[in-house]
Structure 1
Amino acid sequence: MPRYDVRSPHADEFVNHEEILDTLAFAEAHKDDVELARAVLRKARANLAPARDHGAALSHREASVLLACDDAQVNAEIRQLARDVKQAYYGNRVVLFAPLYLSNYCVNGCLYCPYHAKNHDIPRRKLTQDDIRAEVLALQDAGHKRLAVEAGEDPRHNPLDYILESIQTIYGTRHRNGAIRRVNVNIAATSEDAYRQLKAAEIGTYVLFQETYRRTCYERLHPTGPKSDYAWHTEAHDRAMAAGIDDVGLGVLFGLEGYAYEFVGLLMHAEHLEAVFGVGPHTISVPRVQPASDIDPNAFEGGVPDEVFEKIIALIRIAVPYTGMIISTRESESMRARALQLGISQISGGSRTSVGGYAEAERPHDTEQFDVSDQRTLDEVIGWLMDEGHIPSFCTACYRAGRTGDRFMEFCKSGRILDYCHPNALLTLAEYLSDYASPEVARKGWATIDAELARMPDEHRRESAAGFLARIRNGERDFRF
């Protein structure tokens, strides 16, 4: 029987099944112990101000006690603390991005994904480099600066050389004031050498979802294809970080397995990366199973009710305060609004999950990976975010200034990242307002910028930001702190 070892290179030891079961048993035994829950919250609250050296405010076992607790007052305190932690580390800014699907060719047999090899109902498509340029131009003309590249796993149709060429095409495509400044990559687990090549291509974050941390469930849901190798997949982030990619993203697909098990596994994975590399996950995503071609979410028994889903989001924010938390357009406008109040710091906007969807006037559905619940345009999302009290941000400054990995975490965990993120968010919002916004959103946006600038506590930084904003209004671009 594998033993639990947070520093082990082996998946079955750093996300250990027996440790998860013991944790769940402990949480179940103490779910009515309100005093214990309050003690855990006091510990988390003590770390509310960004600290010098902590990587996580709570252990996976402590967080599981809070997840199991049904006390209404404790749950209210969890929600408030999550809001406070998000504000302390990231302020009221929300980073925007869009997924770009390059190809839906895939050799895997994943039972929850419409791209699985046996699905003959979905048309297969792969973008050419000319197609990619057209997609990038459409995304730039909407106002995007940050993309997440997605592709199925298929060594013949989607080899690494194709991914690398596509990244080069994305970075090299410019239109008027448009430019994609950061390309994050969400592709299948690969070798350390391949990760070195992705690092050399100047990717931002390497994102790979575990889907499910329970090995037996994982192997049942991945019956065929290279993704069926649980250890190869689960240990991918270690190989990526060993290859020099110091920003990696985690996530599970909630709904495939019991949510409490997945919650523990996710936190254990974050603890492992922190213990081994001194850098936990740059992002944690929280997708839920959604309808798609050949996929019925009701076929899976792990469905997560909205109220529980919101609590999971809040507890991840409390337990891993430094991480960027992402929610996609899988979720409705109302759910995304609530999630933003509980710790989410990044969202997609104006997203299309089909291969080649952005360059077409009408949203195509035939090659979608999942149904998009929030189908608003990017401009509508930006206006909505400001109405909700958030600052929309297209900032990529940390990546481009070398503040990644342990350097980013040094700033984030000490609370100094706000000195950069807040003014940079205002500068990138000003670019959007000048180049792409509708008149109504532009009016809201400049009023938001003026109000936020007035509240900036550092006089020197406020004056510098005001100077950059004036130059943006006069047509100059790409300033950053």
Structure 2
Amino acid sequence: MSREINYFQEDFGEDYRTEVCDYITDNKIEMILDSAKKPAKKEIERIIAKALKLNGITPQEAAALLQVEDEEMINKFLAAAKEIKEKIYGKRLVIFAPLYFANQCVNDCLYCGFRKGNKELARKKLSQAEIINEVEALEREGHKRLLVLTGEAPNTDLDYVVESIKTAYSVQTENGGEIRRINAEIAPLSTEDFKKLKEAEIGTYTCFQETYNRKAYAELHPSGPKSNFEWRLSVMDRAQEAGIDDLGIGALFGLYDYKFDAIGLLLHAEYLDQKYGVGPHTISVPRLNPASGSPLTEVPYPLSDADFRKLVAVLRLAVPYTGMILSTRESTKMRNELFAHGVSQISAGSRTTPGGYEKKAKNKEELAQFSLHDLRPIDEIISGIAKDGYIPSFCTACYRLGRTGKDFMDLAKPGKIQEFCRPNAMLTFKEYLEDYGTESSIDHGTQCINNLMDKLEKDNSQLAANIADKLEAIADGEHDLYL
């Protein structure tokens, strides 16, 4: 093992778990896909009917759906995914923003703008004062939830990340501006270091496997700590052992065949659920976008829009309880389509550059990790969401009330979490409109809230009265009300 790989763990500091590595193998994934080729129409209909009961479907059943080419049948499970998503979460869309602390990195991932070998990249590590500036800018746009990220390098170690998270939480601006929950997407840690991260009061810890194919992974990650496939794959075990029970997984689609990586994701979700009783709180579905300074000038395994829609729908059918995350890598049109087929969380007004939010900052794309397609300001995104009948949510109540891990799963799996999601979305959206809304977002947002109130009064008049009182209190200047 080279010295370069030992920046954070001397010989990785502990024996990493091998159980998950035996559970998710290339041969197993290939056998699942091979066994599900050319599924009969009756079999597809059976799988869809099973999924509509909100109990999920197996990786084998998902493999059958992924290989369907008949448009009529595809449309059936696209419609089923919409129904399942609305049964679990309603028409709410959680809003968050990524915040990059640094773009320095010792890894040489061939698809990433942050890679060590990219000599064109202007390297940047934010000081605590600069982090304050970034968070102030985000709060003044209305953000309450952040996902913090950084490259993997000695001078952006865990101590720096923890200090930076504490700094971000401390920032307060006018109109009740504050960050109420920070999720983290940083390099895999040892169990002991995860305990330190937990003490920083993060919400969800996220780590993408990127691709579950070992050969492709090795070719794409030639050097650095990230080159160890098993250490990365076993990261969620260490997080669980440290007491972090809200976890997010994902793959970067386009690095390898999307069907293969989808089954890898589902085996990963199945493993976590079976071992810990807690499946992934979130699953992210980014598609590979070009990065400046990357040797990958073309996507190795392009994923068409049609197949991407199919992928999102199948994941929703298979893991109905998970929050499915879509970033601004996608176009406005594609994002709007996928809201209906399973996506329940989105980034808005994103920058993938350290220092990219601060109002005085100029165009800093030379610092970016990858290119973005949905570049609309957050208020324009929110106005469009509300106009289409979706409710933007800035809610952080579950994290703060301990509805995480098994407690969250007990509510999400049977669809009971919507009893909290819909009212809290209304309350946090009302707060956004009062403090940061423009004429357009206030117009569409008020109509959206009124429509939801009409439905809530029919479904639960007592709850509707409670929410009406809280909405009035927010209009009078109160903040941070939730169930």
| TM-score normalized with structure 2 length | 0.94
CA deviation after TM superposition for structure 1 residue 307, in Å: 0.4
- Give the Cα–Cα distance (whole angstroms) in 1 for the partners of residues 325 and 436 of structure 2: 24
Alignment of 1:156-195 (within 5 A): 157-176=155-174, 177-195=176-194
Contact 1:10-1:231 within 8 A present in 2 as well: no
In the aligned structure 2, how far is the partner of 1:375 from the partner of 1:170?
24
Post-superposition Cα deviations, 1:227-247, rounded to whole Å, max 9, x if no partner, equal 111100010011101111110
* Partner Cα separation in structure 2 for residue 296 and residue 444 of structure 1: 44
Q: Deviations over 1:287-311 (max 9, x none)?
A: 0110121136553421111100110
1:462 aligns with one of 461, 464, 473: 464
- Alignment correspondent of 1:233: 232
Deviation of 1:464 after TM superposition, in Å, equals: 0.8
Question: 2:218 is matched with which residue?
Answer: 219
Instruction: From 19, 22, 25, give the equivalent of 1:10.
Output: 19
Deviation at 1:199, TM superposition (A): 0.8
Task: Tell me, in whole angstroms, the C-alpha distance in 2 between the residues paired with 1:299 and 1:412.
Answer: 39
Report the secondary structure of 1:150's partner residue.
Answer: strand
Shift of 1:441: 1.1
Query: Partners in 2 of 1:115 and 1:262 — Cα distance?
Result: 23
For 1:54-203, list aligned pairs within 5 A.
54=55, 57-155=56-154, 157-176=155-174, 177-203=176-202
SS of the residue corresponding to residue 227 of structure 1 reads helix
- Measured in 2, the distance between the counterparts of 1:444 and 1:32 equals 44
Unaligned runs of 5+ in 2: 1-16
Q: Is the 8 A contact 1:32 1:70 kept in 2?
A: no
The answer to whether 1:478 aligns with 2:480 is yes
Of the candidates 38, 42, 46, which is equivalent to residue 39 of structure 1?
Answer: 46
1:14 to partner: Cα distance:
1.7
Matches within 5 A, 1:350-429: 350-361=349-360, 362-429=362-429
Asked if 2 retains the 8 angstrom alpha-carbon contact of 1:34 and 1:71, the reply is no
Asked whether the 8 Å contact 2:94–2:345 carries over to 1, the reply is yes
| Superposed displacement of residue 12, structure 1 | 2.8
Q: 2:29 aligns with which of 16, 20, 30?
A: 20
After alignment, is 321-330 or 450-459 more displaced?
450-459
Q: Secondary structure at the match of 2:334?
A: helix
Deviation sequence 1:214-271 (CA, Å, 0-9, x none): 1111111111001111100010011101111110001000000111111110100000
Aligned to 1:260: 259
Letter in 1 for 2:461: E
Contact 1:90 1:418 (C-alpha < 8 Å) held by counterparts:
yes
Alpha-carbon distance in structure 1 between the residues aligned to 2:417 and 2:107 = 40
Aligned to 2:310: 311
Distance 2:405 2:18 in 1: 19
- Counterpart CA distance in 1 for 2:43 and 2:376 is 43
- Is the partner of 1:351 in helix, strand or coil? coil
Check 1:234–1:261 CA distance in 2 against 1; reply closer, same or farther (3 A cut): same
For residue 166 of structure 1, what is the amino acid of its counterpart? S
Cα distance in 2 between the residues matched to 1:210 and 1:220? 14
Partner of 1:5: none
* SS of aligned partner of 2:269: helix
Native 8 Å contact 1:164 1:201 kept in 2: yes
Q: Alignment RMSD, CA only? A: 1.2
Q: Distance in 2 between matches of 1:414 and 1:293?
A: 44
1:374-413 CA-to-partner distances (Å, cap 9, x unmatched) read: 0000000000101121000000000011100110111111
Distance 1:368 1:41 in 2: 41
Residue 18 of structure 1 and its aligned partner are, at CA, apart by 1.5
Match of 1:236, as an amino acid? V
What is the Cα deviation at residue 78 of structure 1? 0.7
Match of 1:242 in 2: 241
CA distance in structure 2 between the partners assigned to 1:420 and 1:148 by the alignment: 22
Unpaired stretches in structure 1, ≥5 consecutive residues: 1-7, 49-53
* 1:112-150 per-position Cα deviation (integer Å, ceiling 9, x unaligned): 101111111000000000000000000000000000001
Q: What is the deviation of 1:211? A: 0.4
Structure 1: distance between partners of 2:468 and 2:303: 45
Partner Cα separation in structure 2 for residue 108 and residue 333 of structure 1: 32
The structure-2 alpha-carbon separation of the partners of 1:460 and 1:9, relative to structure 1 and needing over 3 Å to count, comes to farther
- TM-score of the pair, normalised by structure 1: 0.94
Runs of 4+ in 1 over 6 A off after TM superposition: none
Identity of aligned residues (%): 44
Greater shift after overlay, 214-223 or 144-153? 214-223
Q: State the secondary structure of the residue aligned to 2:97.
A: strand
Q: What is the distance in 1 between the residues matched to 2:435 and 2:359?
A: 21
Conservation of the 8 A alpha-carbon contact between 2:198 and 2:244? yes
Deviation at residue 427 of structure 1 after TM alignment? 0.5
Render the CA deviation track for 1:43-69: whole Å, top value 9, x for unaligned: 222x14xxxxx5xx1110111001111
Q: Partner letter of residue 170 of structure 2?
A: G
Report the Cα offset of residue 360 of structure 1: 3.2
The residue type equivalent to 1:181 in the other structure is: R
Please tell me the residue identity of whatever aligns with 1:215.
Answer: R
Is the 1:290–1:297 contact (alpha carbons within 8 Å) kept by the matching residues of 2? no
- The structure-2 alpha-carbon separation of the partners of 1:258 and 1:167, relative to structure 1 and needing over 3 Å to count, comes to same
Q: Which amino acid aligns with 2:370?
A: F
Closer, same or farther: CA 363–462 of 1 in aligned 2, 3 Å = farther
- Maintained 8 Å contact 2:321/2:415: no
Residue 10 of structure 2 corresponds to none
2:293 paired with 1:294:
yes
Residue in 1 that maps onto 2:447: 447
For residues 106 and 42 of structure 2, what CA distance do their matches in structure 1 show?
Answer: 51
1:423-479 CA distance string (max 9 Å, x none): 100000011000001122112212221221121121111111111111101111111
Instruction: Give the secondary-structure state (helix, strand or coil) at the position aligned to 2:366.
Output: coil
Q: What is the CA-CA distance between 1:70 and the residue it aligns to?
A: 1.3
